[in-house]
């Protein structure tokens, strides 16, 4: 549904995208991750036709997004990062105005408004002025607007920022439902737990480049090891362990690809009665994220050291 190839974009001297390839299939949720300034919003804005590219291919449903932007716009539901609603008109009027923009007819639009309002829990707010909504309520309206046209391609740029637990759960539920009905979803977020909750595949962007992609499980298996955590009654006794061992207070952490063998090797070395508790900590997407975005900086530092004259 979305095909991006060799996408480049610079704002003057600032290079935001340095050749990005990305595909989202119908029914697939791809979560776009990356530190502040990685280029996520730039990418989403280009797909939505809000910004021009410098080079590369962007196709939505096989249609060139640069040449046929109006047709592409009708296939997209967009919730931009910055909240955009009309403050001086009612919530219902906001939905009507945005719905017309994406080409919905009057009758269809009215029934869709009821549906999205219900799904996002804003039915009771339809006659309120946009500007009087709370932050989280504005976020709900903003997301509702993106869903009006049952988009084959849904672009959500940090859709849950500022949302409370319930709103976040509703938005995630909606996204899952739309994907199950066949929508392709590109979902940028800083909440890594959401990525796991959505069973999304990941595209990790850093400084305008894709530095990792794949399923959450594959990425974890490839980039982060489980940790065996031993807590002692008193001081941590000396143990011989292969792999990385770190001591923090009364706790010994052993990074390992095989927690069972590590435990079998270490337990016999411990003084009787010294061990208080044992835990195997499974790595999360966060560990992968830190390893990958962190390692890049280390590599850059090492390169810098390497080339400096000594
Ligand atoms: N209109 C603009 N003019 C100049 N530079 C810009 C503009 N928009 C974005 N940039 C720069 O391009 C880079 C990518 O920004 P972008 O907003 O795409 O990042 P992001 O991944 O969405 O970050 P965040 O997580 O903070 O939302 C940043 O260095 C940013 O400062
Ligand atoms: Mg952004």
Q: How far apart are CA 55 and CA 5, in angstroms?
A: 9
Site to substitute for ligand 1 among 9, 10, 11, most atoms within 8 A of C-beta: 11
CATH architecture of the domain with range 2-220: 3-Layer(aba) Sandwich (3.40)
Ligand nearest to the CA of 32: 1
Assess whether pLDDT exceeds 90 at residue 266.
yes
Ligand nearest to the CA of 80: 2
Q: What is the pLDDT of residues 179-223, one digit of tens each?
A: 999 999 999 999 999 999 998 999 999 999 999 999 999 999 888
Task: Ligand 1, residue 190: give the atom nearest the CA.
Answer: 25
Q: Whose CA is nearest to atom 6 of ligand 1?
A: 11
Q: What is the pLDDT of residue 3?
A: 98
Which part of the chain has CATH 3.40.50.300?
A: 2-220
Q: Can you tell me whether residue 214 is helix, strand or coil? A: strand
Q: What is the pLDDT of residue 295?
A: 61
Assess whether pLDDT exceeds 90 at residue 301.
no
Assess whether pLDDT exceeds 70 at residue 296.
no
Q: What is the pLDDT of residue 307?
A: 47
Q: What is the pLDDT of residues 49-69, one digit of tens each?
A: 889 999 999 999 999 998 898
Q: What is the pLDDT of residue 164?
A: 87
Give the C-alpha distances (Å, rounded to integers) separating 253 from 38, 219, 257.
32, 22, 13
- % of the chain beyond a pLDDT of 70: 95
Q: What is the pLDDT of residues 130-154, one digit of tens each?
A: 999 988 899 899 899 998 888 899 9
Residue-wise DSSP of 91-143: HHHHHHHHHHHTT--HHHHHHHHHHHHHHTT-GGGTTSBGGGS-HHHHHHHHH
The C-alpha angle with vertex 126 and arms to 94 and 75, in degrees rounded to 5, equals 45
List the one residue out of 96, 79, 103 whose CA is nearest residue 154: 79
CA 65 to chain centre: 23
Assess whether pLDDT exceeds 70 at residue 308.
no
Q: What is the pLDDT of residue 175?
A: 92
Q: How far apart are CA 52 and CA 296, in angstroms?
A: 29
Task: Ligand 1, residue 43: give the atom nearest the CA.
Answer: 18
Q: What is the pLDDT of residue 245?
A: 87
Whole-number Å distance, alpha carbon 42 to ligand 1 midpoint, is 6
Q: What is the pLDDT of residue 162?
A: 82
Q: What is the pLDDT of residue 298?
A: 52
């Amino acid at each position: 549904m979305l095909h991006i190839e060799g996408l480049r974009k610079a704002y003057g001297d600032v290079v935001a995208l340095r050749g990005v390839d990305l595909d989202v299939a119908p029914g697939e949720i791809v979560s776009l991750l990356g530190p502040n300034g990685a280029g996520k919003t730039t990418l989403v804005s280009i797909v939505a036709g809000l910004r021009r590219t410098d080079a590369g291919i962007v196709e939505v449903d096989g249609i060139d997004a640069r040449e046929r932007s109006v047709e592409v716009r009708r296939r997209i539901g967009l919730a931009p990062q910055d909240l955009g609603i009309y403050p001086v008109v009612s919530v219902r009027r906001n939905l009507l105005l945005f719905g017309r923009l994406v080409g919905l007819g009057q009758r269809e639009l009215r029934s869709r408004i009821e549906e999205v309002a219900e799904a996002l829990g804003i039915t009771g707010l339809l006659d309120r002025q946009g500007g009087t909504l709370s932050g989280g309520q504005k976020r709900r309206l903003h997301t509702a607007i993106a869903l009006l046209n049952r988009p084959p391609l849904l672009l959500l740029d940090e859709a849950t920022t500022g949302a409370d637990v319930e709103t976040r759960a509703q938005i995630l539920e909606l996204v899952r439902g739309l994907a199950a009905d066949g929508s392709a979803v590109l979902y940028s977020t800083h909440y890594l737990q959401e990525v796991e909750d959505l069973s999304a595949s990941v595209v990790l962007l850093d400084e305008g480049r894709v530095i990792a992609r794949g399923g959450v499980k594959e990425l974890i298996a490839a980039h982060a090891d489980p940790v065996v955590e031993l807590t002692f009654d008193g001081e941590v006794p000396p143990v011989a362990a292969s792999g990385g061992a770190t001591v923090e207070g009364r706790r010994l952490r052993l990074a390992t690809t095989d927690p069972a063998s590590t435990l079998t090797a270490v337990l016999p070395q411990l003084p009787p009665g010294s061990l208080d508790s044992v835990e195997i900590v499974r790595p999360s997407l966060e560990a992968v994220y830190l390893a990958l975005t962190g390692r890049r900086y280390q590599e850059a530092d090492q390169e810098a050291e390497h080339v400096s004259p000594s």
